[in-house]
Amino acid sequence: MAFPYMEAVVGFMILMYIFETYLDMRQHKALKLPTLPKTLEGVISQEKFEKSRAYSLDKSHFHFIHEFVTIVTDSTILYFGVLPWFWKKSGEYVTTVGLNAENEILHTLAFLAGLMIWSQITDLPFSLYSTFVIEARHGFNKQTPWLFFRDMIKGIFLAVIIGPPIVSAIIVIIQKGGPYLAIYLWAFTFGLSIVMMTLYPVLIAPLFNKFTPLPDGQLREKIEKLASTLNFPLRKLFVVDGSTRSSHSNAYMYGFFKNKRIVLYDTLIQQCKNDEEIVAVIAHELGHWKLNHTVYTFVAMQILTLLQFGGYTLVRNSTDLFRSFGFDTEPVLIGLILFQHTVIPLQQLVSFGLNLVSRSFEFQADAFAKKLGYASELRSGLVKLQEENLSAMNTDPWFSAYHYSHPPLVERLAALDEPDKKED
């Protein structure tokens, strides 16, 4: 008897939904607490706490609805054979427009185009509500409807330009890969990730945001001095106009080898009136670089990708897998999609493990900034970012352990304070 892949996948998806909803309920209960955690009393103002609480509860209510609609939709699509039906319809469409439906690449691209249209339509109400109701209600949204839809159209345009060559290449590789298929697929995705990381900040990101050099002044001098002290090969220092879309703030770095760049959100500069707080945040980011966190993460992702492709090669010709989901043919891309669904349990475990590692890296980067003498500045900077972004002050330990890639503020402040107490 063939293994019931589809029933197992849908069953696990529902079980995960129940488990994650339980965690969401725990978090919702924590968000409703009327008082700050003791360690944040006197650190976070009561006004900011009330605003943060209201914002977090709004997002939590919205999340419950969104996740319920998502699990019902996804389970229905899989259980009632919508995917194989849509695959057949996309083949019929290819024939209708005068193309050869036997050409798997053309058939697959038509199928993906339909999926993209479907996802845009179904996601749009949630995106609009999140942006123009929740984010606007709490003072974060700075987008106009025109800018929102312009960004969406640009995203679709990029997908139409970039997607077909990538999908076509993957199909050809799988069709001709032979016994070394997993290695070929990994090599292709590795090369693609390098190309995208190179081109994204230069060609794609500027389509959505304006990047300008950080003006000369004390802030620039302090950041350049810090980078020089650490032998960080800083080539460019940008400010991005994040305020055109949101008042949330951030900072990040990118680049290969000796060509590193740092990007500051203009909202970060506006919110941190003290330059030292911004420099402390940069010191934390440089800690990730100095401690090789970015390299370790990249290598780990490459190993996981290779293992995933290795697993795919074991089932890609499984007739039972395709038939379980209602397919009477075995298209390459469909095989990849079905495989991704069957390994969801492993993906959940890996994601949890990566979150644990990420949280450890965050503590290490904080400690690195502290060793450079930025303990108090980083502390005040983290508090300022927490306040201005109205991040959740009260968090459930189970929820944060499962979901958060960054430790809650309470834990980070405690870790920053701990060495001082020991030294006393």
Q: Where is the binding site for Zn(2+), in residues?
A: 284, 288, 362
d(CA 149, CA 141): 14
Cα Rg, the chain, nearest whole Å? 24
Query: Which one of the listed residues 366, 387, 388, 411 is annotated catalytic?
Result: 366
| Strand 234-240 relative to strand 260-265, pairing | parallel
| Location of structure tokens 């009327």 | 34
Q: Is 241 among the residues known to form the active site?
A: no
DSSP letter (8 states) at residue 99: -
Q: Chain-centre distance of CA 288, in angstroms?
A: 18
Widest CA span of the chain, in angstroms?
80
d(CA 214, CA 220): 7
d(CA 116, CA 160): 10
Judge whether 262 and 237 are in contact, CB under 8 Å.
Answer: yes
As beta bridge partners, residue 300 has: none
DSSP letter (8 states) at residue 143: -
The tokens describing 419, both together, are 């060495």
DSSP letter (8 states) at residue 100: -
Q: Where is the binding site, in residues?
A: 284, 288, 362
The tokens describing 288, both together, are 């990730």
What are the φ and ψ backbone dihedral angles of 254, each rounded to 5 degrees?
A: -160, 170
Q: Is 47 among the residues known to form the active site?
A: no
Query: Which one of the listed residues 24, 277, 285, 388 is annotated catalytic?
Result: 285
Active site residues: 285, 366
